[in-house]
Amino acid sequence: MSQAAAWLPDVIKTIERVDPAVVEQAGAFPSSILADVAGRRGALSGRIAPLAPGMRVAGSALTVEVRPGDNLMIHVALAIAQPGDVIVVDGKGDLSSALMGEIMSQQAKALGIAGVVIDGAVRDSEAIRELGFPMWAAGLNPNGPTKSVAGRVNHPVSIGGVTVNPGDLIVGDADGITVVERSKAASLLPLAVEKVAAETKRIADIKSGRQLRPGWLDASLRAAGVLKDGESL
pLDDT score at 8? 85
Report how far residue 31's alpha carbon sits from residue 154's, in angstroms, rounded to the nearest whole number: 23
Domain definitions of the chain by residue range:
3-183
pLDDT means per 10 residues, the chain with 233 residues, are 67 97 98 97 97 97 97 98 98 98 98 98 98 98 96 97 98 98 98 98 95 91 91 86
> Which residue type, as a one-letter code, is found at position 128?
I
pLDDT score at 6? 64
pLDDT score at 230? 84
Helix (H, G, I), strand (E, B) or coil at 170: strand
Give the CATH fold of the 3-183 domain: Glucose Oxidase; domain 1 (3.50.30)
pLDDT score at 1? 46
For residue 180, give every residue at least 6 positions away whose Cβ sits within 8 Å of its Cβ, in sequence order, or none: 26, 34, 38, 42, 168, 169, 171, 188
Report how far residue 140's alpha carbon sits from residue 147's, in angstroms, rounded to the nearest whole number: 19
Burial class (CB in 10 A: 0-12, 13-18, 19+), 166: buried
pLDDT score at 4? 52
pLDDT score at 3? 54
